A and B are shown apart, each in its own frame.
Chain A
Amino acid sequence: VRLTFSGSALGPEAAVVQRQLTRFAERHPGVDVELRVTPDAADQRHQLYVQWLNARAPDPDVLQLDVIWTAEFAGAGWILPVDAAVLDVDDFMPAAVTASRWRGTQYAVPWFVDLGLLYWRTDLVPAPPQSLSELREAARRLREAESARFGLVWQGARYEGLVTVFLEHLVAFGGGILDARGRVIVDEPAAIRALTFMRDAIAPDGFVPSSVLTWQEEQTRFAFQNGDAAFMRNWPYAWALLQDRVRSQVAGRVGVAPFPAGDGGRPAAALGGAELAVNAWSAHPELAWALVGFLTEPEQMLERARLAAQLPARRSLYGTSALAEALPIPIEQVRRLLDAAVPRPVTPVYNELSELLQVRLHRALSGQQTPPAALREAALEIRALLARSGLASDEPTP
């Protein structure tokens, strides 16, 4: 029997996943597990998956999904629901579980998570800002004192990263994109306050450079790593690179904290990461689920944390010293982020929803539209999208 697994094999991931697949095969005599390598770029992998699954290909049996794809694949009937008797998701982070459900059914098992966070310079401020207004004041002050060229940097290019940054501001002001019933709330006052804060940060406040509107993760990391920025919003991957004394000018002077709350909201960490699902046309679904179960066992997650520095999706691991030793990033700083995790909207048309939103956000941030007008039109477009896709809010949602 041959099982195929398809997922990301970037850098150290390739070695970890190959090792774990081999171990699984050793435990199941007569089973062969093949690693099918897919493109590194998430967009391209998504495109490939859609083509395979649309053609009802029986392989790959097990798919590594980005958290924002699960609803789409579940809605299309391309992946099997998780059998609760086989896999219990009680131990997993609630935000990750939410992201892997569609219409009340669990379709994937969270594997590892990614959380947006605020990097700050321990030599410039004594403690991380506790609120967005504190962050603004500190960023402004440090820039005016010329301690840093930029106050704060985030990912503002017109791509998925911009939506995660916006989501963190949004939750910080108590807003959201869709509510629990799937209604569009991205044009409500809290959202307008959030986007206005982001726009003002670029101009007139100026503590965020306008060039962030062309920056993705790496450009912000370079700015922070060269000592040009006092604060940076980024993902955990940057930690180890920033601590590299050879390449980084800020090694040993970096702390992380949740992105702080504004008025009427809470600290938020946009949730990214990966989940494992089983192809609906797999010839060996039971064996495929066994592989999913194996890969999401605590031991495998710990090994992944140690070798690829990816955060496990199981909550209980964060109380263990094993994880503390495995992760490069200090675990007590990570623990505070877990409660702040917020998933992006769970809907089969997420990709298009996000794309519509990216355009409007980018227009507002580059001064082509006011934040209220941009969000009003974004909401109209998203409502039209949901209606056209038969997903309007009167239908049952999780």
Chain B
Amino acid sequence: VSRPEFSERRPTDALEREEGRLARWLVAPALAFILIGSLVPIAATAWEALHGLDLRLPWLGRPFVGLANFVEAAGDPRFTSALLHTVAFAGVTVPLELAIGLALALVMHAARRGRALVRLAALLPWAIPTVVAALVWRFMFDARAGILTPPLRTLGVVGESFDWFVHPLAAWVPIGAADIWKTSPFVAILLLAGLQAIDPALHEAAQMDGAGAVRRFVTITLPLLGPALVVAAAFRMLDALRLFDVAYVLTGGGPGTATEPLSLYAFIALMQRLRFGYGSALSVTVFLLTFVFALIWVRALGRSIVGDRR
């Protein structure tokens, strides 16, 4: 870009230019931070994914292998099932989290007495470190010492030898439960903010016209809560697609690899097998998965909401 002479411009223009320059300087640290903090590592990981590097086998060197790691992943049934697990997990838990979070938000919004207490109680799970929460859930689902399995066994719902963590499908229940319990409060905060932004006059007017609570919820609250719901869903989806800690602590991906999400498989390939090339390729797929989702979500829903508002 060529720089026109300063003196040729009108004073106001010069002032704008000055401010523009200042703005660029003010934004620079943030840009540098994003560049160093996220773009460079992502690029480095993507570059590593195009190489074959196994720390245990230094005699094989670090050859450039192109997309070979991605081709290997495509033909790796453990990768395909991990991908499936991740998407299915996000698809099941996020709607539940939104529903429970919405219910929590409505309660918090409606509470007249003890507001602080209600909010504190609702937000508590979110404040507990995930690993600690997961350990507690692990204990609750324990086949012998837990609070859940022995009563179910007495009632005859489950067999004598039933163990949540040994059954390939049942093992998802503690993971899902822990995740929903832990993150619904987060959804609730976002939605509570949305609820508080709705003008109470709308509700009063509708009430005058004889609209019942359900009708008002469907025609006023839900549509106006739309933007907050879309944002909450996006946050939760992005988190759920990167599922790692809850599964790592609760099942370690087992039994077999029945509950292994993509991030956990990438972790195993990188940190346990020390296959940096393949592990990086798996990490890149996790990134792509969330990135593509975010792109589609923002395009499809973000714009429609912005449009509605106008």
> Is A50 on the interface with B (CB-CB < 8 A)?
yes
CA distance A77 to B59 in the complex (A): 9
- Whether A362 touches B58, Cβ cut-off 8 Å, given contacts A50-B274, A214-B166, is no
CA distance A51 to B274 in the complex (A): 10
A363 — which chain B residues lie within 8 A by C-beta?
255-258
B50 — which chain A residues lie within 8 A by C-beta?
none
**Residue-by-residue, is A348-373 near B (CB-CB < 8 Å gives 1, otherwise 0)?**
11011001000110110110110000
Contact (Cβ within 8 A) B167 A351: no
Interface size (A, Cβ < 8 Å)? 35
- Whether A54 touches B166, Cβ cut-off 8 Å, given contacts A363-B256, A368-B256, is no
B166 — which chain A residues lie within 8 A by C-beta?
210-211, 213-214, 366
Interface size (B, Cβ < 8 Å)? 30
Contact (Cβ within 8 A) A348 B56: yes
Q: How many A-B Cβ pairs are below 8 Å?
A: 95
B55 — which chain A residues lie within 8 A by C-beta?
50-51, 54
CA distance A351 to B161 in the complex (A): 31
Contact (Cβ within 8 A) B54 A368: no
Interface residues of A in 346-398 (CB under 8 A from B): 348-349, 351-352, 355, 359-360, 362-363, 365-366, 368-369, 389-390
B167 — which chain A residues lie within 8 A by C-beta?
366
CA distance A75 to B55 in the complex (A): 12
Closest to A228 in B: B144
- Whether A206 touches B161, Cβ cut-off 8 Å, given contacts A43-B272, A349-B57, A390-B59, is yes
* B253 interface neighbour in A158, A352, A389, Cβ under 8 Å: A158
- Whether A390 touches B273, Cβ cut-off 8 Å, given contacts A157-B252, A366-B168, is no
CA distance A360 to B257 in the complex (A): 9
* A54 interface neighbour in B58, B144, B258, Cβ under 8 Å: B58
> Is B271 on the interface with A (CB-CB < 8 A)?
yes
The minimal Cβ–Cβ distance linking A351 to chain B, given in whole angstroms, is 7
Contact (Cβ within 8 A) A76 B143: no
A366 — which chain B residues lie within 8 A by C-beta?
166-168, 254-256, 258
B57 — which chain A residues lie within 8 A by C-beta?
75-76, 348-349, 389-390
* B60 interface neighbour in A157, A351, A390, Cβ under 8 Å: A390
Q: List 19 A-B contacts (CB under 8 A).
A: A50-B56, A51-B55, A54-B58, A75-B57, A75-B59, A159-B252, A213-B165, A213-B166, A351-B56, A351-B274, A352-B56, A359-B78, A363-B258, A366-B254, A366-B256, A368-B256, A389-B54, A389-B60, A390-B59
For the complex with contacts A349-B56, A362-B255, 4 further pairs of A-B residues with Cβ separation under 8 Å are A47-B271, A76-B58, A351-B272, A368-B258
